[in-house]
Structure 1
Amino acid sequence: MDNQTETTVGRHRKVILFPLPYQGHINPMLQLANLLYSKGFSITIFHTNFNKPKTTNYPHFTFKFILDNDPDDQRYSKLPLQGMGAFARVFLFNQIGGDQLRHQLELELLAKDEPPVSCLITDSLWHFAQSAADSLSLPRLVLRTSSLFCFLVYASLPLLDDLGYLSLSDNNRLEEHVIEFPVLKVKDIKKMAFKRDNDAIGEAICNMVKQTKASSGIIWNSFKELEEPELETVLRDIPAPSFLIPFPKHFTASSSSLLDQDRTFFPWLDQQPPNSVVYVSFGSVAQVNEKEFLEIAHGLEDSKQSFLWVVRPGFVEGSAWVEPLPDGFLGEKGRIVEWAPQQEVLAHEAVGAFWTHSGWNSTFESVCEGVPMICSPFWGDQPLDARYMSDVWKVAVYLENGWKREEISSAIRRVMVDEEGEDIKERARVLKQKLQVSLKKGGSSYESVDALVAYISSF
């Protein structure tokens, strides 16, 4: 079957999905697309040519490339915008993409011999999509790729700014707890790295919150029992319905990986005793300098634990890959790869802990597999996720003071070797069990999937 035929035959409604073009946003959106396809919907994916997914992995979807498909458009030559880094395109397209998105949606709505369009589902950070959808009376749902807790903190940024947290320069107050979010410390707010004045990222976050509240519904990569107090607040404050669905338990993210995944280490991993390996990965965007990289390496070595370490090319500033490592570093204790099928690794019985940057996808995948965490967040939602896992659920150790080999080694041993680690592992197992119960018929996650399908079908 050709692509167009496969997406339409026997399918009575079409859903258009529009992910943000970054790995941590593409993964849950395509997992959601697979879930909706399995429920009978035809799927069309809008995407930029930048960071385009491997479409051959999704012959059952129709892909339309928009926004940056004109090579002569001089606006794209200005990227990255000053101070925006990797997210320059998000800022730019939110400013200039409305007309093109509206035109593309009109074409989909008028298309003949195709199922009618039920709704548009976009990443919540594509906040400009709300006005485009509204102009066509097309329901827009949003996918939030971070936690409910993170959303509530983001929604409170103006308040936190008014209270002086974003501009606080007194380092003596960093260990204080934030009155409005008692689980957080002041340094967690500071580590989010939003500025008080002229902050384009902060502005984008505030617009995201506003347009998420104006949407027809919110889909979360989470489950009720994980964030029940936060869900109560969201349901109270936002009229649109919320649907909490644990995507990693429905579909793997391997097929949406932008990087080639190394599988050559699995024979080695298969030979390791249960719960004996530390899996280390800091995501698809973060970088460290050479000094920090060597502290990580020495911390791993000093812990005396076996490890599987993902070092993405470009992870070390100024280095192509792992050139700064000392000769003979690995030995038999460790393996280093450029990228790995993370969900499969976390599900492996040999893995006993996950040292992570605390991005929400990684955090939630670890929760889904009952793997305790060691958290080294960089910015944005990551310090919030780290604090929630370490201080609310107590399934993680938070490395709060940067990259120090002694603290790294100690944290690894706390989880992997010490008596404290047994309690952490048990809490992680209990949390996984709560998730498994939610997936059974009558459970919160099971019911949320049914509710989402019924809601989309009602448009």
Structure 2
Amino acid sequence: MATPHVLVLPFPAQGHVIPLMELSHRLVEHGVKVTFVNTELNHSLILGALASKDGESNSIGGNGIDMVSIPDGLGHGEDRKDLSLLTQSFSEVMPGELEKLIGRISESTGGERELTWLIADANMAWAFPVARRLGLRVAAFNPSAAAMFATRTSIPEMIRDGVVDERGLPKRPGPFQLAPLMPAIDPSEISWNRAGDPEGQPAIFQFILRNNAAIHHAEAVVCNSVQELEPGAFALFPKVIPVGPLISGSAGAADGDNKPVGSFWAEDESCAAWLDAQAAGSVVYVAFGSFAVFGAAQLVELAEALALAGRPFLWVVRPDSVDSGPWVVEDLRRRAGPRGRVAGWCPQQRVLAHPATACFVSHCGWNSTMEAVTNGVPVLCWPYFADQFLNRSYVCDVWRTGLQAVAAPAGEESEAGRVVGREAIRGKVEELLGDAETKARALALRDVARRALGDGGSSRRNLARSVEGSHGRDN
């Protein structure tokens, strides 16, 4: 029986590349051939980060994953954080480029190990009819919470029930809940209403509707989540297959190695050595992901809050995460003093798994949320963008493994002058660190996630059955 050859296509953003790369490693472990497709810019970023780490740029290829790229239609210097611009461009350009790529791969293999499947991000559903037309089987991958997938695919019901209008905009105040055991969220904080400039919201909403319309092309929807963590969402959509958390080196990984995950920036490996020198359960870890941008005034308040807390802290400040220039990063390093460490990018999974890490001040991206869950780390939630507000609701209201850092969304800070003061932040950090019950719940949730990945666990079984299905056997 021929070995399956899978083409993997993420949405072109760091938080989407990482879980699909993790899934690709799992597939390779099951004997599947993987060709991973990034946009040209992201492809160069990943290879550059790998080269700076290893002195060579083929590390992922050495792990059984071929890396290829296609253009996204945007020119050099155009703002790829403008999601309405990005989605419009790649929706027009990438279908044709994907078709040409599939043709090139078919010609190069000469029928041997030819492509059999496309696994694409559910946010790239334009690719599904392209693949089907070319004879590939199709699976959708949901990189966010199952509750987020449920929310996006329940838009007709939300319009019918008066939660949002036909444009996706809030129609009534107050939180709503799709189903029991699911997180409640205010309509103003649904992902498409928190996706950047409000002027781009109509384009983002239409993009989601187009994805929803194409999802029927997929034979299966695979999700980076755990059945036991989101029972309400999976009850609402029982055909969605949870195979997470997709984390390197966690229970359930074949060899425990931290394989390359497609990072866009070189990881500061010295963070691990610095953590080794800290006492167990002492370090406040602060990281806001790959997208958030803060004003200098808010970063200074956060720096002073961390200093006032009197604990060692490790703070990830990306070079492009400050809207006031690179001088701010040097100022933050000065303010950190001998107790704190400011890094450009960290191996986050290793940081959260380290015994010195006490808590996580986070934007609540789904990858970060799952990494915190898998390591039993309580979270101080500071959402910035898109689905992060729903994830905060899981952490603070459903699982109760963390606290909310601020009342106002961080993304509004520069517009409305809502700078959260150092004393308020320090107080929340101390409250979280002093909450033994929250820590106990975080450890209990860790055990749930790890059991799902272990022998006989729900996620491990689901992945094995999915791979069997890719060989053509019933699953």
Range into which the TM-score falls when normalised by the shorter chain: 0.7 to 0.9
Amino acid at match of 1:131: P
| 2:432 counterpart (415, 418, 433) | 415
Would the alpha carbon gap of residues 179 and 76 (structure 1) be closer, same or farther in structure 2, given more than 3 Å must change? closer
Residue 94 of structure 2, aligned match among 93, 97, 111: 97
Residues of 2 paired with 1:197 and 1:317: CA distance? Answer: 20
Question: CA 1:309 to 1:106, structure 2 compared with 1: closer, same or farther past 3 Å?
Answer: same
For normalisation by structure 2, the TM-score amounts to: 0.83
- Match for residue 37 of structure 2 among 27, 43, 46: 46
SS at match of 1:63: strand
1:291 is matched with 297
| CA contact 1:32–1:247 (8 Å) conserved in 2 | yes
Counterpart residue number, 1:151: 149
Counterpart code for 1:56: N
Q: How does 1:255-274 map to 2 (within 5 A)?
A: 255-274=261-280
* Number of corresponding residues: 432
Contact in 1 for aligned 2:289/2:363 (Cα 8 Å): yes
| 1:439 and 2:445 are equivalent in the alignment | no
Q: Corresponding residue for 1:32? A: 23
- Does structure 1 conserve the Cα–Cα contact (< 8 Å) formed by 2:70 and 2:94? no
Alpha-carbon offset, residue 155 of structure 1: 2.1
CA RMSD of aligned residues (A): 2.8
Q: Secondary structure at the match of 1:259?
A: coil
SS of alignment partner, residue 458 of structure 1: coil
Check the 8 A contact 2:163/2:187 in 1, yes or no.
Answer: no
Distance apart, 1:325 and its partner CA? 3.1
Distance in 2 between residues matched to 1:25 and 1:451, nearest whole Å: 23
Supply the distance in 2 between the matched residues of 1:265 and 1:373 (Cα, whole angstroms): 20
- State the partner residue of 1:178: 176
| Alignment partners' CA distance in 1, 2:351 and 2:333 | 27
Any idea what the Cα deviations from partners look like across 1:399-426, whole Å, max 9, x if unmatched? Answer: 242433232111111111x2xx211111
- 8 Å Cα contact 1:16-1:119 kept in structure 2: yes
How far the C-alpha of 1:259 sits from its partner, in A, is 0.5
| SS at structure 1 position matched to 2:40 | coil
Offset of residue 64 of structure 1: 2.7
In the superposition, relative to structure 1, how do residues 407 and 242 fare at CA in structure 2: closer, same or farther (>3 Å)?
A: same
Q: Is the 8 A contact 1:79 1:88 kept in 2?
A: no
**Structure 2 equivalent of residue 57 of structure 1:** 59
Report the residue type matching 1:184 in the other structure.
A
> Which of 428, 431, 439 is equivalent to 1:425?
439
Tell whether 2:395 aligns with 1:389.
yes
Q: Distance in 2 between matches of 1:66 and 1:187?
A: 36
- Stretch of structure 1 that moved more, 43-52 or 396-405: 396-405
Q: How far apart are residue 264 of structure 1 and its match? A: 2.2
Which residues of structure 1 form unaligned runs of 5+?
1-9, 69-74
- 1:80–1:89 CA contact under 8 A, matched in 2: no
For the 8 Å contact 2:364–2:381, the answer to whether it is kept is yes
Q: For residues 161-240 of structure 1, what are the structure 2 equivalents within 5 Å?
A: 163=162, 165=164, 167-168=169-170, 173=173, 176-178=174-176, 180=178, 183-186=183-186, 189=189, 192-193=193-194, 199-235=202-238
1-side partners of 2:258 and 2:87: how far apart? 26
- Quick one: percent identity of the two aligned structures? 26
Q: Which moved more, 1:47-56 or 1:143-152?
A: 47-56
Q: C-alpha distance in 2, partners of 1:409/1:46?
A: 43
Alignment of 1:325-404 (within 5 A): 325=331, 328-402=334-408, 403-404=420-421
- Kept in 1: contact 2:190–2:389 (CA 8 A): no
Shift of the 77–255 alpha-carbon distance from structure 1 to 2, 3 Å rule, reads closer
Structure 1 residues 119, 427: closer, same or farther in 2, change over 3 A?
Answer: same
SS at match of 1:93: helix
What is the alpha-carbon distance in structure 1 between the residues aligned to residue 368 and residue 426 of structure 2? Answer: 21
**TM-score by structure 1 length?**
0.86
Distance 1:267 1:25, change over 3 A: same
Structure 2 segments unaligned to the other structure (5+ residues): 48-56, 409-419
More deviation, 203-212/284-293 = 203-212
Tell whether the 8 Å contact from 1:193 to 1:379 is kept in structure 2 after alignment.
Answer: yes
Deviations 1:124-153 (A, max 9, x none): 111210110121232111111101011112
Q: How far is 1:213 from its partner? A: 4.2
Q: What is the aligned partner in structure 2 of residue 6 from structure 1?
A: none
